[in-house]
Amino acid sequence: MNHTKEIQDITARLFAEGRIDVFVGYRMTGFDDNQVPVLITDPGDVSSLVFTSGSVFNLVNYLKTEHIRRKRVGIVVKGCDSRSLNLLLTEGQVKRDSLYIIGICCEGVTDEDGRKMQNCTECVVPDAVVYDELLGSPTPSGSPTPSGSIPYKVNADISELSVKPLAERAAYFEEIFEACIRCNACRHSCPLCYCAKCCIDQETPTLYNGANTTSAAFHALMTWSLHLAGRCVDCRNCEKACPSHLPLHLLHKQNESVIYENFQEHLAGVIADDRGAFYKYSLKDPDDFIM
Amino acid sequence: METDIKDQLVSVEKPALTAPPDWEPVIIGILCNWCSYAGSDLTGTSRIQYPPNIRIIRVPCSSRVDPWFLIKSLQTTADGVLVSGCHPGDCHYISGNYYARRRFLVTKKLLNFVGFHENRVQFSWVSAAEGPKFAKVVAKVTDDIKKLGPLHLYKKENFAKK
């Protein structure tokens, strides 16, 4: 998967036509083989843009920042990124008119060791679902389908963990929450965490203990994952940002599998104007766990 | 060296995790104003006995219950949580309990996934006319949690402060 040339051409054309003020893409770090996001405002810098299987970050995260909100933006999105962009559009956080979206039919991105990322091996929506221009060849099965016809794959870690005894799971997660240093990089890197004032930071009254303790990390991360339940698109930006390398996808994928199996909802962001599982209800929702 | 100091600190702060012989569970009951709270009131005025372990918090609707209420309860003092609201179709705000029902299921499964027994968090529909049912529900929840014993998960720091 290499769309470097096409993206450079499109960006140069967009700047020449005056359709965008800023382009959000990837460039090489300059000192290793990794890529970093770059915001280009000068047409002369277009040659630094790249797009290969090393383009791991979700650039939609940059659309929520204040300095880019009122500008016309060009952006490149993979399948998962486009789903988060779809959610931001649905939730009224960005305007479609001010965006020029280059969608990618993604073949999966690789981590630093060159292996395909786990979420890419399990991906069911590899093609961009919202775009002005689509690069690459679409998947034969087609991506946006109603629930039921998407072959949902339960995450391998979830199916492995959920059959373990309760005490073992408790010990496993206690270790995870203990390793958390409460830097909130997961929240900052999440494209769907856009609240100007996060409830975790609220001080009057203090809802969340800000201390760097296992207990406080448990409270904050659990709530964070529940705020993203039915909205998380599994782009794994949080995991890439986490300095402690915590497997944060476990919480999100657990919620996603419960929602998918019990409520027969679409996967988050696949359908335009679909606000996620917690914004609606069905009379047929499971009731057997309630006395 | 750093880890050594940390180990020492932890060993000093580590509390005894055994239940005292006269231990009684603390259960947080979050009840909807229109059905379950009135139902619990009826239980009292009907002179029906129910375990005093439950601490009742009144909320306007079961959909007012943010999942962090449950998480924070379990993280700080409670050994278990009971959330109760109107029966489906009876919600004072038409559809609040339908929204709540989805949230409850996901929260319950997530808490179970990270290591809480499924009986730590329980839900019930109790109408304003179901005084005897409320007493039964509280008795069952108390019984379940007494069997499970005190909850120590994520409480160590809070114990150490006392």
Q: State the Cα–Cα distance between residues A208 and A205, nearest whole angstrom.
A: 9
Question: Side-chain half-sphere of A44: how many Cα atoms within 13 Å?
Answer: 0
Residue pair B109/A258 in contact by the 8 Å Cβ criterion: yes
A255 in a structural domain = yes
pLDDT of residue A291: 87
What local confidence, expressed as pLDDT, does residue B160 receive? 46
* pLDDT of res. B18: 66
Q: Taking a C-beta distance cutoff of 8 angstroms, is the pair B122, A279 a contact?
A: no
Give a yes or no: residue A117 inside a domain. Answer: yes
Chain B: closest CA distance from residue A155 (Å): 14
Report the complex ipTM: 0.91
Nearest Cα to Cα of residue A130 among A79, A178, A166? A79
B107-160 pLDDT tens trace? 999 999 999 999 999 999 999 999 999 999 999 999 999 998 888 888 766 544
* Total domains present in chain B: 1
Q: Is B110 in contact with A226 (Cβ distance < 8 A)? A: yes
- Co-location of A131 and A163 in the same domain: no
- Predicted local distance difference test score (pLDDT) of residue A68: 80
Structure confidence at residue B162 (pLDDT): 39
Q: Which residue of A has its CA nearest to B108?
A: A289
Residue after which a domain boundary falls, among A79, A100, A135: A135
- The CATH number that applies at residue B60 is 3.40.50
Nearest to A82 by CA among A62, A55, A102, A65: A102
The label of the residue with tokens 């939609």 reads: A60
Please indicate, yes or no, if residue B100 is contained in any of the structural domains.
Answer: yes
The pLDDT value given to residue A151: 67
Could you tell me the residue range of the domain that residue A164 belongs to? 156-279
Would you give per-residue pLDDT tens digits along chain A (291 residues)? Answer: 889 999 999 999 999 999 999 999 999 988 888 899 999 999 998 999 999 988 999 999 999 887 787 889 999 999 899 999 999 999 988 889 999 999 999 888 988 888 888 888 888 888 888 999 999 888 776 544 545 566 677 888 899 999 999 999 999 999 999 999 999 999 999 999 998 888 888 888 888 888 888 888 999 999 999 999 989 998 899 999 999 999 999 999 999 989 988 887 878 888 888 888 899 899 988 999 998
Q: How many CA within 13 A on the CB side of residue A248?
A: 33
Q: Which residues contact A189 (CB under 8 A, 6 or more apart)?
A: A61, A237, A238, A240, A241
d(CA A125, CA B57): 44
Query: What is the domain range of residue B49?
Result: 25-155
Q: Do B75 and A259 touch (CB under 8 A)?
A: no
Interior/surface letters A13-33, b for 16+ CB within 10 angstroms, e for the rest? ebbeeeebebbbbbbbeeeee
**Whether residue A205 has a cis bond before it, omega within 30° of 0:** yes
Residues in chain B with CB shorter than 8 Å from the CB of A161 are 113
Q: Which pLDDT score, from 0 to 100, does residue B141 have?
A: 95
Which residues in chain B have Cβ-Cβ distances shorter than 8 Å to A174?
Answer: 115, 153-154
Residues A50 and A111 in one domain: yes
B134 within some domain: yes
Q: Let me know if residue B20 belongs to a domain.
A: no
User: B38 phi and psi, to 5 degrees?
Assistant: -65, -35
pLDDT for residue A213: 87
Structural domain contains residue A198: yes
pLDDT for residue B7: 52
Checking if the pLDDT of B34 tops 50, the result is yes
Mean pLDDT of B44-53: 94
Say whether pLDDT at B6 is over 80. Answer: no
Q: Closest Cα of chain B to A117: distance in Å?
A: 24
Judging contacts by C-beta atoms under 8 Å, the chain A residues touching residue B124 are: 290-291
The residue type of B58 is R
Long-range contacts of B43-46 (CB under 8 A, 24+ apart): B43/B131, B43/B132, B43/B134, B43/B135, B45/B131, B46/B131, B46/B132
In a domain, B91, yes or no: yes
Which residue of B93, B103, B110, B114 to mutate against A (max A Cβ within 10 Å)? B114
Task: Please identify, among A70, A105, A135, the residue that sits at the C-terminal boundary of a domain.
Answer: A135
The pLDDT value recorded for residue B9 is 47
Neighbour tally for A9: CB within 10 Å: 12
- Which residues on chain A are in Cβ contact (under 8 Å) with B117? 166
Domain count of the fold of chain A: 2
